[in-house]
Chain A
Amino acid sequence: MFSKEILLLFGLFSADPAPKFDEHIIPLLKRHCVKCHGPVTAEARLNLSTPAAMLRGGENGPVLRPHDLDASPLWKRIAANEMPPEDPLSTDEKSLIRAWIEHGAPGLPTAAALAATGDGHWAFQKLMPQNAPEVTQMLLPRSAIDRFIQADLENDGLSLGPTADRQTLIRRLSYDLLGLPPTTTELQDFLNDGSPDAVERLVDRYLASPHYGERIGKVWLDAAGYADSNGYFNADSDRPLAFRYRDYVIRSINADKPFDRFVREQLAGDELIGWTPDMPITDEVIDALIATHFLRNGQDGSGESDGNPDEVRADRYYTIEGTMQITATSLLGLTIQCAKCHEHKFEPIPHREYYQFQAVIAGVFHHENWIKPNERFVLAPLPAERAAWEVRLAAADEQAQQAKQKLEEWLTSHRPRGKIVWSDDFDGPPESLAERWSPKAPDDDASGGEPAVALNSDVAPGARIAQGQLQVLEAGTAGSRWLVTKQKFDWTPDTVGAAIQVTFDLIDRRVDPSGTPAERTAYYIAAHDFDDSGAKPGGNLLIDGNPATSTTVYLDYPGTDQKQLGEIGTTPYAGGRNYGVRITHQQDRKFLLEHLVDGVPEEKTLTFTADQLPDGAFGYEFCCGRSYIVDNVVVETFDQPQEIETLAEFLKNVQPLRNSLSDAAKQIAALKNNPPGKLPWAVDLTPNPPSVQWLNRGDYGSHKEPVGAGPFSALCDDDKAWPDTPAENARTTGRRLAWATWVTQPGSRPASLVARVQANRFWQHHFGFGIVETPDNFGLSGSPPTHPALLDWLSGEFVRTDWSVKSLQRRIVTSQAYLQTSRAFGEQLNTDPDGRRYTRAPVRRLDAEAIRDTLLFHAGILNDQLYGPYIKTDRAGNGEVIVPEKNLDFARRSVYLYQRRTQVVSMLQIFDAPTIVFNSVRRTPTTIPLQSLNLLNSEFVTKRMLEFTQQVFADKRTDDERLQNVFVRLWGRTPTADESSAAQKFLTTQIAERGGSPEATRQAWLDLHQMLFAASAALYLE
């Protein structure tokens, strides 16, 4: 709670120092004034949303004059509570405005500066050539960047600072370009390099390192909203292929792919290369397809969406809207989401244009033909990949064939025979069928029962013998007609271990080769009553053999209700194999029902009581309009000790043979499930764009009118038209490529904005803040650039050098502004308190990934392998998200860890790694106690420091040498005399405290190392 005296204190002080334009004044005006006095609703033609417009004033002229409250209508209306009319400012807010005007309205441009930028918003103008200004006090004129900065400083008699020392510089460069500390060798070499271009050569080495892409790629991956999960719903389901996009980004950055091309690929790679499924697959084609995954980086719950139709529709819209938001902020630095419901209040983005932009990507997210997130993939294998896969598949096929043959041979010679108590007569003349088979349906239900099936007849339902096989001819869908043996069997053998089984060959699921295969191969055991000899409870066990899945068992006597008992077996019914069931007396009159395929029992079984299995016949069911052919019906019993033993022996020996067959089958299935070249992508499905509705107030059910694709008019060039729609015979709408071309067209306004946003992004990467402080907002409501000419020069050079990110970064990091010391001298703290005028380099904390990767590096276990599927993380019992160390890949760099939205690695999150909602264009480094707890107590940190300690002790050194060495390794520099003696004193005390033994000595050193790593000198870049 803010106490009275604290409010007072704030009040007192807020009147005294100059409030800051960006931090205090702009947010305040935005909150209270811009709704009515903004770019859209400029009441009294007054727009308070930009510095320029503010200076111009409204229809009654200027609204404020620096240093002069009385001449500032803005202040007078506010002070009199006339403005804002309904909700006057608080006393504190008023004092901020007053103090700001009294201090000369710092931050407001001069009229001269205003004239130079022209009438329009600065960020929406084309890039114009910028000449680096002449300066007089240049100590070290390293680059044009410095002249822009120095020109601003000179006005106040200031200057860029001296160059930082070499050990500071190499650490700064190594972390900024690779995300890792320099090795001690690199450090020594750099310190010993006396040549004048030592820095430039170091930078070139770093830019050429494959680890450069891992660090700088992450800058774009954050901006693009990359994640390995779908988000949205509780499930936060996996995106198993997203890593390929991550790798594409790292690869592209390492290759210094021109950024405009990089953008076009991500929006429309497929259209760019004219993708067709039959085109030869090359690395370039693959990259162009994977790149489009950019469009599916947003949250997407449509894979889990299961609510009512309105909910499903809303879930899909969210996916599209998220994609739009990511695209607009990452490429254009524009906030468009307000225009979903109405005209944008702060930016010149009409309501309608939001939907025109939606139409650009609507072909990908087609409402009527929706693709769930994990089904958005394409198979595009490289020829070699495909060949390798085919070789593996052929090998697996071969293996399966061999295993099958071996099994069959073995079965033929080893299949145990019990006592055959019944076998069919299908080899006899047709008439013999009636001697041993009854065509009559057992009447378990009604008087009269069903009519009998026809024997030796072509009329279905019927049964006949042909070519020594039985043909079951079914018709209609009604059941309860059977063909059953006239012999009954005892289905409940008395001895424990004894068994009875019935088996038959299923020759074919069709009688007629051109016919439809049988839906079922259904048969009965314990089927009584064929001769109306009286009913007993139980029996009529229907074995319903399914051609697709396992077999279902029903008990259908007595009564009309059929009761499903469960499933047995796993092998579907297909022609060419031997099927059947076996009943074995387990114990206590419990009987096991097993499914037999080729005489071998399968895993899923059921257990019965004797009541359920009365003595009865075996028979086939007539149902479901299909016919099939069977042969070799055999009923056997195993009730002699010898027979039971043979059976057991057989089962033991058949197992390995079955295993090798099922292993081969699994391998085939796995290969077929993972065809080569499975790439994530996001492309239009058809060349016909879906209808995109301009929605009333953003309400999905309320349509204004359909709209087509179109650009943002605020960025349109008079001389460059929106490109035409696609050629004939196109596979896609062509809209994405049209937009991508528009947004990167050399010399155009949108391309100028794209260049500014990216140049600012990389500048921010090296300084911790951008020339524009709001990287996601270059619009009228964003922060104005602190050095507009510098930003435009840098952006112009970026475009001129073929959009090379490496050249851009090289330019930045070889400037004096970057290379100068971070120490503040003299009056600087007063004239440049926050360093935004670049009188010194910023002191920056390492980011989360660098902290984790550095620990692995110091431990000597960093696995620097590039690319590949994400490394799994896990939520430990205490709730901490960790990378399990039993995972061999755990020591990979953090960029490769599972980026699950709801499972951010705790250590990374504590050090400000973002939870990706849309995207992350800037990280705000925090300083919180959880970081201290992590550095002091976490198992990860302690273990890494233990490993570091083991290495340190592996080398023979004196204590003094060791002390110097660990400082150099952990801090990148030798200790001062004070630091050295503090460490020695600590060691003495801590060794004693830990008991004085050699082990205690090591422990104390471990403690020292851990404190060195936890210290600001290790966590910050100076």
Chain B
Amino acid sequence: MHDSTWKLNRRAFLASHAGGLGALALTSLLHDDKLNAEEARRHAAVTLKPKAKAVICLFQHGGPSQIDLFDEKPLLRKYHGKPYPGGALETHFDKQAGNVLGSPFKFMPYGQSGIEMCEHLPCTGAIADEICLVRSMNTESVDHEQALRAIHGGKLIAGMPTLGSWVTYGLGTENANLPAYVVLGDPGGLPVDGERNWSSGWLPAVYQGVPFRSGPSPVFNLQSPDGVTGKMRRNQLDLLASFNQSFLNRHPEKSDLAARITNFEVAARMQLAVPEALDLTQESEETQKLYGLDRPESEEYGRRCLTARRLVERGVRFVQIFMSGQPWDTHSKNAEQLTKLCQRTDRPSAALVQDLKQRGLLDDTIVMWTGEFGRLPISQGPDGRDHNRRAFSLWLAGGGFRKGYAHGATDDFGYESVKDVVTVHDLHATLLTNLGIDHRRLTYPMDGREASLTDAEVTKCRVVEALLA
């Protein structure tokens, strides 16, 4: 069989499985001849037994304070107000380093597993037996932008493809009528480092996160022009299809011409599918309450968590929730700000895990709650904390991750991860593994290299087996 026939046959096969992978290959992820090389690469990478098929990342911009939320350090209280006994710490703002700052929060064990967390995380506490808490994270920079790039794209430099882009490049989508990678932005504005947080870098633009906004036009160009009714649009699309079919007939070997025909139909379907997916009035009052939609402090964040569930339910591969600015960047009034942020996020985050579980979706959906780095055990000014790249905490739930487990440890002051340390590259490798992707093989050519997210050759990262169920 010749190459072109092979392509056509494969296409026919995939088309008959529309809605699954077929839809992926035929529509949103179909390119020109380059596709074959891309498919070959992708195919070579998706070789492992998948435990999860979707990811929801609740990203906590600014660097949540691990020692006030997840990682209790009694010594901090003992040394409170005294000089840090361990010598100089690496700070971001050099000249403002103060004495040890103890956490004013109470910690308590939660659930059967008895994972200790702070008093302001009661709802996360209620799902303690579902989560895998990692207390021994580290990263490579104390600068926000660089640390954000490390956790999203694996490198400190701007412009790398992000995790969501790599995952959708590897796995495509299961619902061609919705984007594969959706970003639920904060109505309050862009996070620090803006759209780079979901950039596809030098991967093709199709793998870029698509921001959904609140309001009537969640994606731009989603609404038909004024006065164009469904019937008129149908006439337009039929005419266009007939033109495009005759063009395709002149060049049957050109695969993207066929994709272009299909794409106009997909676009029309997207116009209906996106608003439907975002329509929270379809949710019961009970569900809405679970996410804290009845409470002013958690309503907005809750809406986005609930939307994330609806998207994953409909086959979206990767959903990311961001916060405006970098609210967890508590350089001053650390305790006061953390309390407010917990009120905003604790209930909706936990609700998402509970809701996914009760709908049977948690087994193949990964929920990840993380920031870009942690904070220092000493004070900055009277009541703030500066950046810390040597230690931070995050939690994972579902999708093949161990339940009711706390991994690793930091030193006695929570300054540095010392036991079972997990790097951001290890995290990426482990996430990809759970999605069935061999992180060393998911590559794309960049400046002459087969570049990857984890760059295992250089970063020496590994899959953290202990985190896996």
Contact = CB atoms under 8 A, between A and B. Distances in A.
Contact of B240 (A22, A830, A1014): A1014
Interface of B: 1-4, 6, 9-10, 13, 17, 20-21, 27-28, 30-34, 36-37, 40-41, 43-44, 46-47, 50, 53, 90-92, 94, 141-146, 156-160, 171, 174, 176, 185, 192-196, 199, 201-202, 204-206, 210-211, 213, 215, 217, 219-225, 227-229, 231-233, 235-236, 238-240, 242-244, 246-248, 250-254, 256-257, 259-260, 263-264, 266-268, 270-271, 436, 440-441, 443, 445, 447-450, 457-458
Interface stretch (A74-82, A239-247, A652-660, A1005-1013): A1005-1013
A234 interface: yes
B247 A1016 contact: yes
A918 interface: yes
Interface of A: 1-3, 6, 9-10, 13, 16-18, 20, 22-24, 27-28, 30-31, 35, 87, 90, 92-93, 96, 231-234, 236, 299, 307-309, 311, 314, 318, 322, 325, 329, 334-335, 337-338, 341, 346, 774, 776-777, 779, 781-782, 822-824, 829-830, 833-834, 843, 845, 876, 878-880, 901-902, 906, 909-910, 912, 915-918, 924-934, 936-939, 942, 976, 978-979, 982-983, 986, 989-990, 993-994, 1003, 1007-1008, 1010-1012, 1014-1017, 1019-1020, 1022
Given A879-B185, A982-B239, 16 more contacts: A6-B21, A9-B10, A13-B10, A318-B157, A329-B447, A824-B252, A833-B2, A834-B3, A929-B270, A936-B236, A937-B221, A937-B222, A990-B232, A993-B231, A1011-B236, A1019-B260
30 contacts: A1-B436, A9-B10, A13-B10, A31-B440, A231-B159, A308-B142, A311-B141, A314-B141, A335-B447, A781-B449, A823-B250, A833-B253, A843-B254, A878-B213, A878-B215, A906-B220, A912-B205, A916-B159, A924-B204, A926-B32, A926-B206, A928-B28, A929-B28, A932-B260, A932-B266, A936-B233, A937-B224, A979-B242, A979-B246, A990-B232
Contact of B174 (A1, A1007, A1014, A1015): A1
A917 B40 contact: no
A696 B136 CA distance: 28
Nearest to A11: B43
A319 to B, nearest CB: 11
A879 B213 contact: yes
A983 B32 contact: no
Nearest to A318: B157
B243 A982 contact: yes
A28 B44 contact: yes
Contacts, number: 287
A976 B247 CA distance: 11
B225 A937 contact: yes
A934 to B, nearest CB: 5
A976 B174 CA distance: 39
A986 B239 contact: yes
Contacts of B210: 930
A937 B232 contact: no
A376 to B, nearest CB: 20
A307 B256 CA distance: 48
Given A777-B448, A929-B28, A932-B267, A917 B202 contact: yes
Nearest to B6: A17
A387 to B, nearest CB: 43
Given A822-B251, A906-B220, A927-B259, A337 B447 contact: yes
B9 to A, nearest CB: 8
A299 B157 contact: yes
Contacts of A96: 40
Contacts of A338: 449
Contacts of A779: 448
Nearest to B194: A902
Contacts of B217: 878
A930 B221 contact: yes
Given A915-B159, A993-B232, A926 B204 contact: yes
A27 B219 CA distance: 37
A16 B6 contact: yes
B235 A299 contact: no
A335 B43 contact: no
A335 B450 CA distance: 12
Nearest to A822: B251
Contact of B450 (A9, A30, A307, A912): A30
Contacts of A880: 220-221
Q: Counting chain A CB atoms within 10 Å of each CB, which of B46, B199, B254 scores highest?
A: B254
A945 B50 CA distance: 48
What are the 3 tightest A-B residue pairs by CB atom distance, in nearest-first order? A917-B159, A777-B448, A335-B448
B102 to A, nearest CB: 25
B243 A1011 contact: yes
A23 B235 contact: no
Given A307-B92, A915-B159, A234 B192 contact: yes
A867 to B, nearest CB: 28
A234 B193 contact: yes
B260 A927 contact: yes
A982 B9 CA distance: 30
B267 to A, nearest CB: 4
A337 B199 CA distance: 22
A249 B256 CA distance: 33
Given A782-B448, A833-B4, A990-B235, A1012 B243 contact: yes
A978 B270 contact: no
A824 B2 CA distance: 15
B53 to A, nearest CB: 5
A776 B267 contact: no
A195 B441 CA distance: 57
Given A307-B142, A824-B251, A938-B221, A1016 B244 contact: yes
Given A23-B36, A845-B256, A308 B94 contact: yes
Nearest to B161: A917
A311 B143 contact: yes
A125 B438 CA distance: 39
Contacts of B2: 17, 829-830, 833
B251 A843 contact: yes
Contacts of A18: 3
Contacts of B223: 937
A916 to B, nearest CB: 8
Contacts of A912: 204-205
Given A9-B10, A829-B253, A830-B4, A1003 B247 contact: no
Contact of A933 (B144, B185, B221, B445): B221
A338 B448 CA distance: 10
Given A982-B242, A1017-B243, A234 B34 contact: no
Contacts of A16: 1, 6
A776 B451 CA distance: 14
Contact of B31 (A823, A927, A1007, A1015): A927
A982 to B, nearest CB: 5
A277 to B, nearest CB: 35
Contacts of A776: 447-448
A691 B142 CA distance: 28
A35 B457 contact: yes
Contact of B220 (A314, A845, A879, A926): A879
A492 B13 CA distance: 92
B441 to A, nearest CB: 6
Contact of B232 (A311, A834, A910, A1007): A1007
A986 B267 contact: no
Nearest to A1017: B247
A928 B205 contact: yes
Contacts of A942: 225
A959 B233 CA distance: 22
Contacts of B270: 929, 933
Contacts of B185: 879
Contacts of B229: 993
Contacts of A994: 227, 232
B158 A1 contact: no
A918 B239 contact: no
